[in-house]
Chains A and B, each alone.
Chain A
């Protein structure tokens, strides 16, 4: 059993360490025992699908070409995204928009927006097709990535994407992001005669 002074000490630490007093006061003492079961990374593998998109870490073996991607796209993607990824019954275009961010008509596509090409692999594999997510093979996902990149003029028609070539594709929006620098507004609490 814990001593009273230990509990007090823990409570004081919790108060000091938290942003808010009333929240700190409700935080119970963490139990000494944990209840997690050890598991190996190998046994987690079926869920371990994230790709670190800046360098492609996590990309699996396999490959796919632009031509293979077009065939898969035509079979599985056109119903929502339309022919040639130009927009369909459900979603807008996935082609173009490069250079549009300095205009008032910004077009957001994988080509114009993604800073790193492996985002295509990560996102297609985890979400597509919408009615059967995580049903595509690694080869199919590489091929679809190649096809979308080719439609955006970012890889040639004979390109083959794999764990090495996909992270090497230069994306036009690579330097397009800045880290959050808010608060950006400097409003003043004026009370009378303000505007």
Chain B
């Protein structure tokens, strides 16, 4: 049975007490399926373990006694009709009076594994989603180069492709929740985050082909959309690991994620991974665009602004249980979440159930990849008392995810503030209600 397989695959070093394990193994298949369906369907009860009652006698389901849908001649598959809750959502905290320069968030509370399906990778655009014909799309590389070059999509796809797993996070992820509990769900507070396998080619190949002049120190990426979104990126980073990407998770990019071509800058704030990429220009200085001065800069307490704050620092969040979910009853709870760092790989995640006073190390689930979402889990026996759950990640540079109070020592945190990588808290009431909490 599925539940048995799942249980047997648990690592031996699990902290589960023997009697809890026995109870878990007695969990019947119906309860498991009911729980799975509830989670997947967006019913927000977090199944703790069924401890009492016998299963009812089985009935043969209608689906078993009839033919299903035939194979279509020509079709792209869709999720089950029972999975409508697993969808992107626009912000329900801020009121954007237009929806072109806007964003929508990934339902990370329902994500399985570390790869975000293409249909729910978060969106952030500045002038809506264009529909660009790859047959006519062109990329140019110019500026401080020996020979300016133009590439068609078919030109670019003649190069050997590179596929790499990376997270993508908007610098504004968490911006509504620095000092108040504005967002109630983890989708709203942390859903400007996705993970995927991105396919394309190193930008360095194209720059080498064009021949960067020794004076070339900064690289401009520009989009072909109605915002012609533009950022300046240091050439050291571009030559190190920046890709131009045409594929994501096994297919061509979706229009809202840059089809047919985007920049992908691993570990850095999402908006430098310019979508609908049409132009790469080399210069000796940054351009200081609006998008790197008036926006995407971080306020400091002395009234100045931190500029070119590219890296998305080490961060984690518990996705289950999380805001607006409910624990059925006291007993074992499988706490799961994501950790990630734009500066390297995750080396540890700790979980606290008492608001940060005491911590226990969680398990990391392989693969643990550089600059990619990492799954952690911690099995907790909830005794029914109020609790505050937190997670804290450590990355391969030794950086420890800070609290908001730690960050407030050096940053100004009132207003529309970016780069929130502070520890996130969920409170659990005696009734099992999970709520966003500030500690």
Instruction: List A residues at the B interface (Cβ < 8 Å).
Output: 18-20, 22-23, 26-31, 34-41, 44, 47-54, 80, 89-91, 101-102, 104, 106, 108, 110, 113-116, 119, 122-123, 126-127, 130, 133-134, 173, 176-195
Contacts and interface: CB of A to CB of B under 8 A. Distances in A.
A79 to B, nearest CB: 11
Interface string B278-311: 1101010101111001100101101111111111
B9 interface: no
B164 A35 contact: no
Q: Which 3 A-B pairs have the closest CB atoms?
A: A36-B149, A185-B402, A28-B160
A126 B230 contact: yes
B313 A182 contact: yes
14 contacts: A19-B370, A30-B208, A34-B206, A36-B141, A36-B155, A36-B209, A39-B150, A44-B148, A54-B285, A80-B98, A106-B299, A126-B228, A134-B228, A185-B406
Given A127-B126, A194-B359, A20 B370 contact: yes
A35 B159 contact: yes
A50 B230 contact: yes
A185 B408 CA distance: 9
Contacts of B359: 190-192, 194
Contacts of B302: 102
Given A23-B241, A194-B359, A130 B226 contact: yes
A109 B359 CA distance: 44
Nearest to A176: B304
Interface of B: 97-98, 100-101, 126-127, 140-142, 147-151, 155-156, 158-164, 202, 205-206, 208-210, 220, 222, 226-228, 230, 240-241, 278-279, 281, 283, 285, 287-290, 293-294, 297, 299-300, 302-311, 313, 344-345, 348, 350, 355-360, 367, 369-371, 392, 394, 399-403, 406-407, 409-411, 414-415
A106 to B, nearest CB: 6
Contacts of B311: 180, 182
A38 B228 contact: no
Contacts of B313: 182-183
A122 B289 contact: yes
A114 B150 contact: no
Contacts, number: 219
| Interface-central residue, A54, A134, A185, A191, by most chain B CB under 10 Å | A185
Nearest to A47: B279
Contact of B410 (A23, A37, A184): A184
A157 B131 CA distance: 42
Contacts of A108: 294
Contacts of A40: 148
B127 A38 contact: no
A41 B101 CA distance: 31
B397 to A, nearest CB: 8
Given A30-B205, A183-B313, A195-B355, A178 B305 contact: yes
Contact of A178 (B148, B293, B304, B400): B304
Contact of A19 (B155, B241, B283): B241
Nearest to A113: B294
Contacts of A192: 357-359
Contacts of A101: 299, 303-305
B151 to A, nearest CB: 5
A178 B350 CA distance: 33
Contacts of A90: 97-98
Contacts of A39: 140, 142, 148-150
Contacts of B278: 47
B148 A38 contact: yes
Contacts of A48: 142, 279, 281
Nearest to A133: B226
A179 B232 CA distance: 13
A22 B371 CA distance: 12
A173 B208 CA distance: 37
B241 A176 contact: no
B339 to A, nearest CB: 14
B196 to A, nearest CB: 14
A179 to B, nearest CB: 6
| Interface-central residue, B156, B293, B300, B392, by most chain A CB under 10 Å | B293
A188 B406 CA distance: 10
B159 A114 contact: no
A85 to B, nearest CB: 15
A54 B288 contact: yes
B97 A89 contact: yes
Given A27-B202, A180-B311, 9 more contacts: A37-B155, A54-B288, A114-B290, A114-B293, A130-B226, A180-B307, A185-B407, A193-B357, A194-B357
Nearest to B101: A130
Contacts of A37: 149-151, 155
